[in-house]
């Protein structure tokens, strides 16, 4: 099968190559999916799991990409709940070969059904972005109606979903980003917008919840805006110092079938609109990933026409 592989950690994305790889086989409780579209996160080659298995042993050549949509083609021994020919989307395990390939083997529990009304490309944009937003807001942030929430990067892949889900839940959403993103952030559900280059973030006053997908100085400034008893949820790693009196949660997104089903159902009925960027083919993927252009929206690779 065709796949994008990496073998040299020091080379970064410049070391990506298109190669022929054996089609994966379904192990116990696995499903093999014919990939139609795959999501990609531009920090994947910095993750240790891209290069080693859980025991620390080298596992290259490895196939990046962990978000996928496609059709079930094979079931492993003991796998239940799925049928060959079924449309699915899911989030593959970090330590296994991923979705920038024509086929992927994935644990059955990491998949959710994909309604016919939702396009494969749109579906592949949802697993990491959607689950990060859902888990950050509702699992770790315990968002309640009436709370004030900062959604960083509110026009981006994750932030746009944060803004929409938080607004639907009855929160007051303060979106952030670059000046050019203002209207898009408001269209995605932000009640107000802060230009991080030109506006004073501190001018928004105290908030109940921050979902930080930026980190660094912006993350630390955001922490100081959380009211006593409020929550700072980080999807970009822990902080060196945080103010007293607030709850700080650093998390890594996890696959969850029920949550992913909730997300895709909102897409199907129009309550949620993912922000999908350019969609190159698998043959064009390496050039697209290495492009210096600013990425607008979620990076999705079209694996099949």
Parallel, antiparallel, or unpaired for β 30-39 and 103-107?
antiparallel
Parallel, antiparallel, or unpaired for β 300-302 and 226-234?
unpaired
The burial of 277, by beta-carbon neighbours within 10 Å (0-12 exposed, 13-18 middle, 19 or more buried), is given as middle
Nearest-angstrom CA–CA distance, 136 and 147: 14
Write out pLDDT tens, residues 8-37. 999 999 999 999 999 999 999 999 999 999
Helix (H) / strand (E) element for 163: namely helix 157-168
Write out pLDDT tens, residues 132-165. 999 999 999 999 999 999 999 999 999 999 999 9
* pLDDT, mean over the chain: 96
The burial of 94, by beta-carbon neighbours within 10 Å (0-12 exposed, 13-18 middle, 19 or more buried), is given as middle
The burial of 209, by beta-carbon neighbours within 10 Å (0-12 exposed, 13-18 middle, 19 or more buried), is given as buried
This prediction has a pTM of: 0.95
Give the tokens for residue 95.
């330590």
| 226 beta partners | 207
Task: Print burial letters for 101-134: b (CB count within 10 Å at least 16), e (below 16).
Answer: bbbbbbbbebbbebeeebebbbbbbbbbbbbbbb
pLDDT at 295 over 80: no
Region of 47 (left: φ > 0; alpha: ψ -120 to 50; beta: rest) is beta
Write out pLDDT tens, residues 230-288. 999 999 988 888 889 999 999 999 999 999 999 999 999 999 999 998 899 999 999 99
Nearest-angstrom CA–CA distance, 156 and 288: 18
Nearest-angstrom CA–CA distance, 15 and 119: 31
Residue of 293 and 51 predicted with greater confidence: 51
């Amino acid at each position: 099968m065709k796949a994008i592989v990496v073998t040299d950690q020091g080379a970064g994305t410049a070391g990506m190559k298109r190669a022929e790889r054996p089609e994966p086989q379904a192990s116990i409780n696995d499903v093999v999916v014919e990939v139609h579209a795959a999501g990609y996160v531009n920090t994947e080659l910095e993750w240790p799991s891209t290069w080693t298995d859980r025991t620390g042993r080298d596992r290259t050549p490895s196939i990046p990409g962990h978000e996928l949509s496609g059709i079930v083609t094979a079931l492993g021994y003991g796998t239940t709940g799925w049928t060959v020919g079924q449309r699915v989307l899911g989030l593959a395990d970090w330590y296994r070969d991923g979705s920038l390939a024509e086929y992927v083997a994935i644990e059955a529990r990491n998949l959710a059904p994909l309604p016919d009304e939702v396009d494969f490309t749109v579906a592949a944009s949802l697993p990491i972005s959607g689950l990060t937003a859902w888990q950050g807001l509702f699992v770790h942030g315990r968002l309640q109606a009436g709370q004030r929430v900062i959604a960083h990067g509110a026009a981006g892949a994750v932030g746009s979903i944060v803004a929409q889900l938080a607004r639907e839940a009855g929160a007051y959403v303060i979106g952030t980003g670059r000046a050019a993103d203002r209207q898009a952030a408001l269209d995605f559900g932000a009640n107000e917008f802060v230009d991080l280059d030109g506006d004073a973030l501190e001018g928004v006053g105290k908030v109940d919840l921050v979902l930080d997908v930026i980190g660094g100085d912006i993350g630390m400034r955001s922490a100081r805006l959380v009211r006593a008893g409020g929550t700072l949820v980080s999807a970009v790693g822990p902080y060196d110092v945080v103010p007293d009196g607030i709850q700080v949660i650093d998390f890594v997104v996890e696959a969850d079938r029920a949550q992913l089903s909730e997300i895709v159902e909102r897409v199907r009925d129009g309550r949620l609109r993912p922000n999908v960027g350019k969609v190159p083919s698998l043959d064009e993927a390496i050039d697209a990933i290495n492009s210096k252009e600013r990425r607008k929206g979620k990076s999705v690779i079209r694996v099949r026409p």
